[in-house]
Amino acid sequence: MRLAIDVMGGDQGPRAIIEGSARAVVERPDLELTLFGPRQQIDAELSRLPQPLAAATSRLMVGDAPETVSQEATAAWALRRGGATSMACMLHCLSLGEAAAGVSAGNTGALVALARRELGMLEGISRPAISTAIPARGGRRCYLLDLGANVDSPAHRLFDFAIMGAAMAQCIDGIERPRVALLNVGAEATKGNVNVREADRLLRECVSDLGFIYQGYAEGGDIFQGKLDVVVCDGFVGNVTLKASEGLTRMLVERVQMAFEARLSGRLASLLAKPVLKRLKQELDPVRYNGASLLGLQGIVVKSHGSTRADGFYYAIQRALQEVEHNLPARIAGRWLRS
């Protein structure tokens, strides 16, 4: 299996992305990656890989792409002038069928625009949605979408997001009838803006044909309760919700550790509690959930956090591999045609 990787989009530079890519290749013997970026820069980073990862270089190919999409670039600039960038070359490789999926930590707006042009949308879906999983109670997780591809979404697009999110939960997590809700400021029927109320009407009208359980409105705290599998919102709300939850998680883990270490007795207790704290951090660490899916495209594209380090990018590649193995675009297309 081959994936295409944009190595130039992350805030940490190509080193973190190449190290994360090498780790994925070392762990999976059938995996090959094509790394898109300036050849000299990629070759230099490959030569610096630590010894345990050096064996990966034989399965890390270089796709020379001399230019980069900056974080400040607009989607219009990327469409007009970004053809020689690492992001565009990665997506073009995917469109030619030379890779099964693409992964980038680059500019979100540019990635969405270029992916739509290079790959096209599934029939009946007008815009992609960005989705990722958020940890919830009972070891469960909840898919939240959209996370920023569409800042302001009309009702019919929220309806599309519900279908795509349900397909994700069915495909990746094996949930036969996912529980889906619309994010709102309250559970009452009169609350929410016009788009959310109209999306609620559309979903209720089709509820018997959707293949998932529509549970009406959800509030922000419901995302983490383990009683929902998919929560739908527009990209502005979703992005703020995701970033706030990640920041809160990091703060809580740090505060718990600081509380143990505040006194001598606390330091002793900290040694005893260290395994528990380690497990808590592993379960809640946003790094483990890095990798957001661009749903609705005719190919598989995963967006990594721009600030991610090597371990985070590794998890983004794992997300892409899961979607390839489950043929996610075909599953979404099939679900859409039945709705």
- 119 and 218 together in one domain: no
pLDDT at 43 exceeding the cut of 60: yes
Averaged pLDDT for residues 48-58: 89
Residue 222: per-residue pLDDT: 92
Distances in whole angstroms, Cα of residue 78 to Cα of each of 11, 97, 115, 284, 294 = 18, 22, 11, 35, 18
pLDDT at 204 exceeding the cut of 60: yes
- 3 and 106 together in one domain: yes
The domain spanning residue 93 has which CATH number?
Answer: 3.40.718.10
Q: Which of 101-110, 117-126, 278-287, 299-308 has the lowest mean pLDDT?
A: 278-287
- 306 and 278 together in one domain: no
Q: Residue 295 contacts by C-beta under 8 Å, 6 or more apart in sequence?
A: 128, 129, 130, 131, 145, 161, 164, 165, 167, 168, 328, 332
- 274 and 157 together in one domain: yes
- 281 and 154 together in one domain: yes
Q: List the strands of the sheet with 60-64, edge to edge.
A: 60-64, 32-37, 2-6, 101-104, 301-303, 292-295, 129-135, 141-145, 230-232, 179-183, 213-218
- 214 and 334 together in one domain: no
Q: Which of 9-13, 227-231, 242-246, 268-272 has the lowest mean pLDDT?
A: 268-272
Domain extent, residue 198, equals 127-288
Number of domains making up the chain: 2
- 179 and 268 together in one domain: yes
pLDDT at 262 exceeding the cut of 70: no
Averaged pLDDT for residues 194-199: 92
- 142 and 219 together in one domain: yes
- 247 and 168 together in one domain: yes
pTM of the predicted structure, to 2 decimals = 0.87
Compute the distance between CA of residue 146 and CA of residue 165 in angstroms, rounded to an integer. 9
- 255 and 139 together in one domain: yes
Averaged pLDDT for residues 259-265: 62
Compute the distance between CA of residue 292 and CA of residue 2 in angstroms, rounded to an integer. 19
- 131 and 275 together in one domain: yes
- 183 and 172 together in one domain: yes
Residue 192: per-residue pLDDT: 80
CB 44 within 8 A of CB 334: no
Q: Residue 92: helix, strand or coil by DSSP? A: helix
Mean pLDDT (the chain) is 88
62-104 confidence digits (pLDDT tens): 999 999 999 899 999 999 999 999 999 999 999 999 999 999 9
pLDDT band at 171 (very low <50, low <70, confident <90, very high): confident
